Amino acid sequence: MKVLIVNGPNLNLLGTREPEIYGTTTMDVFLEKLRSEFTAYEIEYYQSNIEGELINRLQEDDFDALVINPGAFTHYSYAIADCLKNIQQPKVEVHISNIYKREEFRQKSVTAANTDAVLSGFGMDGYRLAILSLK
């Protein structure tokens, strides 16, 4: 099974960006950990700060399951929401921080309604939990 993990804007800065919120682990290090734990899966990773590039990648439709952290696009990207609506594969939205404990604008997800589940506030472990839920 091929699992595609997609991260939106600024998530390329994991490990250095606001470590008190997002932790000190880089995505590369965490991906190694995921790949060693889920050896039966092919885990592919894609990150972009550009909304259209994320949509283009999602529309390639070459994966069996999706784990997505849209980052800031979570709160206003109806284009990504529409794209998710058309993806038939299982999909889980992940947020490293608990978005409901953050600023008011971060507490609304326009993308979540078009996913099968949302994990928020589990830190980087949210990605692992999302893959577990897809088994």
Residue 133 marked as a ligand binder: no
Q: Which is the catalytic residue, given 22, 46, 76, 100?
A: 22
> Exactly one of 78, 95, 100, 127 is catalytic; which is it?
95
Is 69 annotated for ligand binding?
yes
Q: How many beta carbons lie within 10 A of that of residue 4, not counting itself?
A: 23
**Residue 45 · residue 57 · CB < 8 Å:** no
Q: Are 14 and 27 in contact (CB under 8 A)?
A: yes
> Domain residues for 63?
2-134
The values of phi and psi at residue 92, to 5°, are -125, 130
Q: Judge contact between 109 and 12, C-beta under 8 A.
A: no
- The number of folded domains in the chain is 1
Q: What is the domain-level CATH number for residue 126?
A: 3.40.50.9100
pLDDT, tens only, 13-45: 888 887 887 878 899 999 999 999 999 999 999
pLDDT band at 127 (very low <50, low <70, confident <90, very high): very high
CA 99 – CA 36 distance, rounded (Å): 29
Active site residue 41: no
Task: Write out pLDDT tens, residues 41-74.
Answer: 999 999 999 999 999 999 999 999 999 999 999 9
Secondary element (H or E) of residue 44: strand 42-47
Tell me, yes or no, if 95 is annotated catalytic.
yes
